[in-house]
């Protein structure tokens, strides 16, 4: 890779779901500047997964709304895929790029931000309008990791989420896991290091052995590999749902405070969404969202039966 190539810096140092919903826009940036060195500024934790995006040449470690440690001359293009500004706009503007693409905010011209737009389409539209290229909102796939998955053909039950408001009750996840095990599924309970106890409680209530819990025992790439090789996925509105989309694995996703019209999977038959909300919930809530609480175990089991090719 030649450092003499002009650089395009794309800012998105957020969570896993944010990274994956930004993939179509990142690909559109690549289409707009095919000869550039495309640098994705994202978190150190997401760097391995960012390497699975074919449009990305290199990753620049970044922290949310903090200045970038950019080592070279000013990039030719900088794109804010972080937010509506102005705080995130400053981060990319401080690189002094020849061209800057942001949503419109005071002091920054650009396309208009619409709060009711789906996350994927929002960033596609920014790049499409700003750089004059087509952007395909369905271009969400990423490469499977080179690492072997700890298990293949598993049914992934992922009970965790970043905030309690988005966590369906553990005993309901356990009931679903117990049902799927009875149907012959190899159920594995996934989660991050902070979700090990939650995963163990789900497994225990479902009558599963400790070996069914792989929460806290996988790297981010190994978790992605498990999902890429999964039979199906059951989870809430969290990053694992976006991995299921990225690998086109059958999934049932449980939404509560946030509308799937803003963050849900694309309209494909293998992704089923359950939601009883009105979009007024708190995604950062400390208590179970009432809309999420209204989703019953029976509803999830019916949704699972409706998945294509689900035995």
- What number of CA atoms fall less than 13 Å from residue 254's CA on the CB side? 33
End-to-end CA distance of the chain: 47
pLDDT at 309 over 70: no
Cβ contact 156:195 at 8 Å: no
Residue (of 243, 236, 242) closest to 221 by Cα position: 243
Whole-number pLDDT of residue 2: 46
pLDDT at 310 over 60: no
Residue (of 49, 3, 2, 57) closest to 29 by Cα position: 57
Whole-number pLDDT of residue 62: 97
- pLDDT-derived band at 308, boundaries 50, 70, 90: confident
- What number of CA atoms fall less than 13 Å from residue 206's CA on the CB side? 32
- pLDDT-derived band at 1, boundaries 50, 70, 90: very low
Measure the CA–CA gap between 4 and 261, rounded to whole angstroms: 42
Q: What angle do CA 302, 303, 308 make, to 5 degrees?
A: 115
Do you find a cis peptide bond into 122, omega within 30 degrees of 0?
A: no
Measure the CA–CA gap between 17 and 240, rounded to whole angstroms: 8
The average pLDDT across 101-126 equals 97
What percent of the chain has a predicted confidence (pLDDT) above 70? 98
Q: What angle do CA 81, 136, 114 make, to 5 degrees?
A: 50
On whether the pTM is more than 0.85, the answer is yes
SS3 12: coil
Backbone angles phi, psi at 47, to 5 degrees: -55, -45
């Amino acid at each position: 890779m030649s450092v003499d190539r002009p650089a395009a810096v794309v800012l998105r140092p957020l969570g896993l779901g944010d990274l994956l919903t930004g993939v179509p826009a990142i690909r559109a940036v690549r289409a707009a500047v095919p000869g550039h060195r495309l640098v994705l500024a994202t978190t150190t934790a997401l760097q391995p997964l960012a390497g699975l995006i074919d449009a990305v040449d290199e990753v620049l470690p970044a922290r949310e709304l903090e200045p970038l440690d950019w080592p070279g001359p000013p990039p030719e293009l900088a794109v804010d895929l972080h937010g509506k500004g102005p705080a995130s706009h400053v981060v990319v503007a401080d690189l002094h790029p020849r061209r800057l693409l942001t949503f419109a905010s005071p002091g920054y011209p650009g396309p208009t931000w619409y709060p009711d737009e789906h996350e994927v389409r929002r960033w596609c539209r920014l790049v499409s309008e700003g750089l004059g290229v087509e952007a395909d909102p369905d271009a969400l796939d990423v490469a499977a990791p080179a690492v072997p998955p700890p298990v293949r053909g598993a049914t992934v039950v992922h009970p965790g989420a970043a905030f309690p408001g988005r966590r369906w009750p553990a005993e309901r996840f356990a009931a679903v896991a117990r049902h799927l095990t009875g149907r012959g599924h190899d159920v594995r309970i996934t989660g991050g290091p902070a979700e090990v106890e939650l995963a163990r409680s789900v497994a225990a209530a479902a009558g599963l052995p400790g070996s069914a819990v792989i929460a806290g025992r996988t790297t981010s790439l190994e978790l992605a590999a498990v999902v890429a090789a999964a039979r199906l996925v059951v989870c809430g509105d969290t990053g694992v749902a976006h991995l299921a989309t990225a690998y086109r694995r059958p999934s049932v996703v449980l939404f509560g405070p946030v509308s799937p019209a803003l963050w849900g999977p694309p309209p494909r038959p293998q992704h089923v969404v359950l939601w009883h909300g009105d979009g007024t919930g708190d995604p950062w809530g400390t208590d179970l969202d009432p809309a999420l609480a209204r989703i019953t175990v029976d509803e999830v089991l019916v949704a699972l039966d409706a998945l294509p090719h689900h035995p």
